Amino acid sequence: MWFRISRNDSDPGEALGHVESGRMLVMLNRNNYWQCAYLIPKGTAGKLQQAGLDNFRDSIADISPFLRDRLHEISSWEDVKLLTVEVDRLRRWYRPGLICIGDAAHAMSPIGGVGINLAVQDAAAAANILAEPLRRGIVTIDTLKQVQDRREFPARVTQRLQIVVQNKVIAPALTNKSERPKAPLFLKMMQWPLLRRLPGRLLAFGVRPEHIHTMAA
């Protein structure tokens, strides 16, 4: 469930992830507001809405008490958008006259916030592969296939990593209501200085970084 809450200067500056028994709130700092994701198991949005907006606000305030004085900003369910998470890919990204890239080719989970990076990298790769054949007017099905051949691997690996985080971190946190979930070993290892850079690099540059190689127009 996605919503916005205004951000005060005295709030923490970094992105926050709060995990409590059976609940999870992710907050992204967008300068003057927090982009918030309240995670719920698939198919339970109706139950949450039936329990009422006050109940929803209380639940957020429990996890993140410093938001309590601003939760009136969620004035109706209209302010809370349900994003149903899908992780899938087209088997074939192209047909004569058509190439799918970005979300059209692979629906990413919001984990890591990498959807935009992958979409832009797909676009850079597609430009590199298609610009010259398009200029000469000879784009074959094989040319289109090259785009999928280059970009399917990073989409596949990134989705695999998202599914590992989903299964090892998020699903246990949402289903275990009795105790506060413990971070799995691979997350704890990310506190080591050498390993700490790894997720940042992976999120920023992706599995297969792309650079524009087309001729200046």
| Contacting residues toward ligand FAD, per CB under 6 A | 2, 83, 102-104, 108, 110, 113-117, 119
Identify which of residues 22 and 110 has a Cβ nearer to ligand FAD in the complex.
110
* C-alpha to C-alpha distance for 206 and 186, rounded to whole angstroms: 19
Identify which of residues 22 and 113 has a Cβ nearer to ligand FAD in the complex.
113
Identify which of residues 64 and 162 has a Cβ nearer to ligand FAD in the complex.
162
Structure tokens at 6: 């205004």
Least CB distance from residue 185 to ligand FAD, whole Å?
27
Least CB distance from residue 110 to ligand FAD, whole Å?
6
Is the Cβ–Cβ distance between 145 and 94 less than 8 Å? yes
What distances in angstroms separate CA 44 from CA 1, 109, 171, 204, one per listed residue?
A: 11, 18, 14, 32
Least CB distance from residue 178 to ligand FAD, whole Å?
31
Identify which of residues 102 and 154 has a Cβ nearer to ligand FAD in the complex.
102
Scored b (16 or more CB within 10 A) or e, 25-36 reads: bbbeeeeeebbb
Identify which of residues 119 and 207 has a Cβ nearer to ligand FAD in the complex.
119
Structure tokens at 147: 């785009």
Least CB distance from residue 149 to ligand FAD, whole Å?
19
Least CB distance from residue 158 to ligand FAD, whole Å?
11
What distances in angstroms separate CA 137 from CA 19, 140, 155, one per listed residue?
A: 54, 9, 29
Q: Cα 135 vs. chain centroid, distance in angstroms? A: 35
Residue in 5, 139, 126, 105 with CA at minimum distance from that of residue 61: 5
